[in-house]
Structure 1
C-alpha cells in the first residue's frame, strides 16, 4: 500500500484523508490509533503519529482525551471542497487555456468532455 516516492507520514495522512473523502471513515468515527497504523503498515509509531497529526493540524481529526482521534465534523466536505479546487487548478484551468489557444469555443470544449465521459462510461465493466 505504501510506496517509495513520498514520506511515509504523508502517505498515512493521504490514505486517511482518502478514507474520509470516500466516506469510509465517517464524521465522528474513530480513526485507527497510532499503534494500529504502525503495526498494520510495519512502520514506526512516531511516523504514524506524524501522519495523524497532519490531519489534526488541518482540523480534519479531533482528539478526544483518553479515547483517541476521531473524524471532525465537516471534515469530508472540507476535504472535497479542497480537492475540487485543486482539480480545477491542476486540470480544468490548463485545459481551458489550451482549448483557447487551439481556437475551441466553450461549446466545443464541453462537447469534447461529454464525448470523453461517454467513452469512459462505455468502457466500464
Structure 2
C-alpha cells in the first residue's frame, strides 16, 4: 500500500508518480496511461482523485484524452516534462537547498567531496 505524505494533496502525489514513470521511460510517448479505475484500485483511492491527477497532466499538455480509449502520453511529453521539472526545481527547491547549504557553512568543495564518496 502506498504511503501518502500529509503535506501534499494525494492527486499531486499521483501526478508526480505518473511524471516519474514518463520521465523514467516506464510509460513511453504515445502509450496509454493505466486506467483511472485500475490506478484507483491499486492505490486504494477515490477514482475522482486519479481523474484530478490525470487532468493536471492534460493541463500540462503532456497527456491527451481519447474518447472511449483513455489517456495517452503525447509525443514530446518527456522533453516538455524535463523542462517543466527543471524550472520547478530551480524556482521552488533550489532556493531552500541553497539557503540550507549556506546556513551549514558548506562550500562547493565540501559538496563535491561528498559526491565523490557516494559514488565509491
TM-score > 0.5 by shorter chain: yes
Contact 1:20 1:26 in 2 (8 A): yes
Alignment correspondent of 1:3: 4
Q: Does 1:91 align with 2:94?
A: yes
- Number of corresponding residues: 114
Query: Over aligned residue pairs, what C-alpha RMSD do you find?
Result: 2.4
Unaligned runs of 5+ in 2: none
How far apart are the structure 1 equivalents of 2:97 and 2:37? 42
**Equivalent residues in 2 for 1:55-74 (5 A)?**
55-74=57-76
Runs of 4 or more consecutive aligned structure 1 residues displaced over 4 Å after TM superposition: none
How far apart are the structure 2 equivalents of 1:116 and 1:23? 29
Alignment correspondent of 2:37: 35
Unaligned runs of 5+ in 1: none
For the pair shown, the structure with the greater C-alpha radius of gyration is 1
TM-score by length of 1: 0.76
TM-score by length of 2: 0.78
